[in-house]
Amino acid sequence: METEFVHCFGIKKTILAGLSLEELRELLKPLPAFRAKQIFRWLTRGVRSFNDMTDISCTVREALEKRFSLYSSVISQRLSDSDGTVKIQLTLEDGGTIESVLLSDGKERKTACISTQVGCAMGCVFCKTGGVGFRRNVSAGEIIEQFLHLRSIAAFSNVVIMGMGEPLLNLSALREALDFIVGGNAIGVADESLSKRRITVSTSGIIAGIHDLADNGPYIRLAVSLTTADEAQREKLMPVTRTNPLPLLKKALMYYQRKTPKRITMEAALLRNINTSRKHADLLAEFAQGLDVVVNVIPWNPVAGLRLEGVPLQEPDKAESERFIAALQRRGMNVTTRFKKGRSVAGACGQLG
Ligand code: SF4
């Protein structure tokens, strides 16, 4: 059977990453089923080449190489920060590029940060990707490949869909990829199971997408990049607000929480002298009333050249951030602060692209 396979060379190479075990079995016939299983296991561990599949004979590996490719994308750049962050740039089949990041908490826990679009149309003024503009949606296969490429670097236990792009504007591909990843395919994780509880999707506030997620799942953790609850100011910082106003966004979040009683994260990127006053803390606390939320405060990660109404954006100093956090806490809010990770490789929040 295997000899027959070896002589059966095709011309166009088929991509194996992202195929289910069943699909692999079919595709690899007449190879025996156990071969498909071996290859599938290697794939889910993020193997880099057929040559690394050491329990498969050289002859079969060579034949596989001639007919198939492991990935449609290649890692075109890899940068490491001394804090353990690794950022990879992937070049896709059409030449587009996206970035994915492996974050480390300095101990055991690693988190994969995944992109869902090449560029982004949302135009948030504090985000580098927003300045790049939108090229296209990433396919389900390309989302899965990001998991696999990161898995080739290290196992991870948590996933945040917070890389380049607005995930809820590419929900069907994201849904397909997540179905695959949590559906027993054991990608990425050390303990061979990646539960939905460990996946967070972050949106700029796409109301229709939140409803879609609430109605159709998957019921993963939801984060909203709120930044400020001052509607007029948010329109300037995040133009998405003009078509997705805050009162309707709040209703959508309440609907989501009725469907899936999971705590929602409200992210607030802090910008010096822009959204850090006592008034901003009060507005944010009022917006959160009636919702079960935790506020994730992220002192802005600098990106050169980004401005609001002609004035360069700046990160807040420590005292300014602390005053804002204290004001939230006085209003009874749960607050966490995101570590400044990956800055030296421009892999921190808002720096991709
Ligand atoms: S913050 Fe998110 S939604 Fe806004 S421009 Fe950046 S990638 Fe797009």
The pTM score is 0.91
Q: Alpha-carbon distance 131 to 123, whole Å?
A: 6
Q: How far is the CA of 203 from the centre of ligand 1 (A)?
A: 8
pLDDT at 351 over 90: no
Between residues 177 and 11, which one has the greater pLDDT? Answer: 177
Intervals of CATH 3.20.20.70 along the chain: 74-345
Decide if 325 contacts 337 (C-beta within 8 A). Answer: yes
Alpha-carbon span 25 to 342, nearest angstrom? 40
Protein residues with CB under 6 Å of any ligand 1 atom: 120, 122-124, 127, 129-130, 164-166, 204, 225
pLDDT band at 340 (very low <50, low <70, confident <90, very high): low
**Which residues of the chain form CATH 1.10.150.530?**
2-69
Instruction: Output the pLDDT for position 185.
Output: 62
Query: Is residue 51 pLDDT above 60, yes or no?
Result: yes
Which atom of ligand 1 is closest in space to residue 127's alpha carbon?
6
Question: What would the pLDDT profile of 225-255 be if each residue is shown by its tens digit?
Answer: 999 999 999 999 999 999 999 999 999 999 9
Q: Which residues are catalytic?
A: 99, 349
| Residue appearing with tokens 């004035």 | 311
Task: Tell me the three state secondary structure of residue 258.
Answer: helix
Nearest CA to ligand 1 atom 5: 130
Q: Which residue has better confidence, 230 or 343?
A: 230
Distance 39 CA to ligand 1 centre (A): 36
Ligand 1 pocket check: which of 127, 236, 296 to mutate, most ligand atoms within 8 Å of Cβ?
127
Give ∠ CA 156-161-164 in degrees, rounded to 5: 115
| pLDDT(6) > 60 | no
Spacing, Cα 352 to ligand 1 middle (Å): 10
What is the predicted pLDDT for the residue at 242? 98
Question: In this model, does residue 10 exceed pLDDT 70?
Answer: no
Which pLDDT band, with edges at 50, 70 and 90, does 113 fall under? very high
Give pLDDT, residue 192. 54
CATH code of domain 2-69:
1.10.150.530
Residue 293: pLDDT above 50? yes
Domain 74-345: what homologous superfamily? Aldolase class I (3.20.20.70)
Residue 189 pLDDT > 90: no
In this structure, are residues 346 and 81 in contact, taking their beta carbons and an 8 Å threshold? no
Question: What is the percent of the chain where pLDDT is above 70?
Answer: 92
Instruction: Provide the mean pLDDT of the chain.
Output: 91
Cβ neighbors of 111 (< 8 A, separation 6 or more) are 102, 103, 104, 105, 156, 157, 158, 159, 160
39 falls in which pLDDT band (50, 70, 90)? very high
Cα 103 to averaged position of ligand 1 atoms, centre (Å): 19
58: number of Cβ within 10 Å = 9
Task: Using alpha carbons, list the distances in angstroms from residue 79 to 82, 238, 301, 314, 347.
Answer: 10, 29, 17, 25, 9
Q: How far is 268 from 317, CA to CA, in rounded Å?
A: 15
pLDDT in tens, 151-174: 899 988 899 999 999 999 999 999
